[in-house]
Structure 1
Amino acid sequence: MKIQGHMFGWLAAFILVAAIVYGYWSKEPVGTTALFLAFGLAAMIGYYLVFTARRVDTGAQDNKEAEVADDAGELGFFSPHSWQPLSLAIGGALAFLGVVLDWWLLYFSIPVILVGIYGWVFEYYRGADQNQ
């Protein structure tokens, strides 16, 4: 994970230089703003990856002498089926339609989004007193 963090750091530095040069030469605010936002996103991802790499053990991707088989095995738990992303997608689509058509549609979309987020966060929560 550490190498990916450094790659995003170098990408953020490149985008920052490109944003400064583009903003100086073009005097165009929209593209300059987009480049600065892209710099911020790349910097945040790079910082997260480097910060997380310090807290977890070294993976096979950080070892220069690792084999492909060294990274085999379980990667984590992924839900085999979940209806919550569909609920969030419907709520998000309604929210964007509310911005386009009229703001009253947000009154219907926000509860759908909140139900989807609540369901997704607590989908596998069994309670503090249960062992399963």
Structure 2
Amino acid sequence: MKIQGKMFLGLALFILIIAITYGVWSKEPVGTTALVLAFGLSVMIGFYLAFTARRVDALAQDNKEADVADEAGEVGFFSPHSWQPLSLAIGGAFAFMGVVFGWWLLFFSAPLLLIGLFGWVFEYYRGENRTQ
């Protein structure tokens, strides 16, 4: 994580230099504001990664002698039988089509999005998979 923190802080410095150069040269406020906000976001991410790197053990990516297999292991649990992403995808597609074709489509997309979201969050809190 130390390397990523340094990379984001270096990126933030680069974006700041570009923002100042762009702002002085073009005198265009919207692009300058976007670059300054990108600088702020890079600083936040870089500070978080550098701050967190002090509190966790060194990872394989921080060791120059490490192999790819050193970080191998369980990544997490992914539900193999969930239909909720399909509901979210259809609801999201209708929501974005509502922006294009008419806001009335949001009335059809909101229930699909809510069903998919609540179904996905509470998927393992009902039926045979419920924890006791």
State whether TM-score is above 0.5: yes
Q: How do residues 1-132 of structure 1 correspond to structure 2 at under 5 angstroms?
A: 1-125=1-125, 130-131=131-132
Rounded to whole Å, the distance in 2 between the matches of 1:104 and 1:70 is 52
- The whole-number CA distance in structure 1 between the counterparts of 2:81 and 2:19 is 42
Amino acid paired to 1:112: L
Alignment gaps of 5+ in structure 2: none
Name the SS of the counterpart of 2:87 in structure 1: helix
**Higher mean displacement: 13-22 or 50-59:** 50-59
Distance 1:58 1:75 in 2: 17
Q: Using the alignment, how far apart are the partners of 1:111 and 1:121 within structure 2?
A: 15
* Pair member with larger Rg: 2
CA distance in structure 1 between the aligned counterparts of 2:58 and 2:126, rounded to whole angstroms: 32
Cα deviation for residue 60 of structure 1 reads 0.8
Give the direction of change, closer, same or farther, for the CA distance of 1:54–1:20 in structure 2 (3 Å limit). Answer: same
- Percent identical: 75
2-side partners of 1:6 and 1:107: how far apart?
46
**In structure 2, do the counterparts of structure 1 residues 90 and 42 end up closer, same or farther at CA, with 3 Å as the change threshold?**
farther
Q: Count matched residues.
A: 130
1:61 aligned counterpart, secondary structure: helix
- After TM superposition, give the deviation of residue 16 of structure 1 in Å: 2.3
Unaligned runs of 5+ in 1: none
- RMSD of aligned Cα (Å): 2.8
Deviations 1:72-107 (A, max 9, x none): 222222333433333222222222222222222222
2:123 and 2:17 map into 1 onto residues whose CA distance is 44
